[in-house]
Structure 1
Amino acid sequence: MGPHSWVATSSSSSYSLDENTIRDGEYGMPSYCYCGGRVIRETSRTEQDPGKLYFSCEFRARVSGEIESLQTHHRAGMEELISELKDGELTFIIMDMRIAEKRISDLKEEHEQSKAEITRLELVIGDFNKKYKAVESTFAIAAVLLLLAWFLVWFK
């Protein structure tokens, strides 16, 4: 995309003008151009496209001041977008989205399996605690009986 393309970054100062320009443009009309100028809206007054809205950079509009240059600028921006899409970027984006959706689905399934495993382990631990308490009780009873037998033998 050229330096005055209509696809631009958001107005947030935390964004880099270079890194997030296209990404921020996906969420609606951006506020700023690549060059840092504000994106402005113009209306065509030509016979070819009367009343058609065009988006341009404020610096581009100052330089030319003519609607014809805005039309050329708009068409150039569209041609750049089309050429980028022809280069396969859209295909890669769609593939990445499908991979991400599959990964999300897999993660949800893994999450459900983990929850089921946690429930199963909680039951096993509960059973173990019951058995441990029974063994502990049996051991305590055996110790008391052994002690009682020892006292009986000793004091007889």
Structure 2
Amino acid sequence: YSQPSSSEEYDIDITSLLQAEADLYSDEADSRHNIAEPVQYFPQSESDDGIPKTCYCGGEAVVETSYTSKDPGRRYFTCGNADDGDCHVWKWWDVAVMEELRDYQRQLREVKDQANESDEKLVKVEQIVGELAKKKTGIANGYPLLVCVLLSVVFLLCMVVMFKWVAEKENVLTESMEELQRMKMRLSNL
């Protein structure tokens, strides 16, 4: 057995190999700098429940129609920038509307519960006033008037608070209905 000689078939230029390896590492290092970092969008609460108004990217949510064989003609919310490859809002229209309606039902139940609580409190106040009127302490003529005035003030305060709360919920409901009408107009224009 003999060692290979430095014949032509085994003749390797080590300098060119080292240069090729250095070029390879250089290209790899350069390519890391050219890779764009993905844009990080933070979820917005409007996009998660109910009808989305804005996308995660800040764009306006639009209504599109599905043309797939599984869901032909089914509408959905998406973003106008959805083709850029980033994360955007996407939600079926009927699911979003049902979530919105469930939220309104919950709010309506809360209003009814608060109205019932106010009625119960009013009945309790009327009972207390009735009991106090029966006791008639030293001030016989002025006491019923004071109780009536006090009861009226309490009743008016309860009504003012209740009407303000109902007006606030009505504004939310009106805005949502207007938004649904605008979306309906946009859908009819499609």
Q: Which has the higher contact order (CA 8 A, sep 6+)?
A: 1
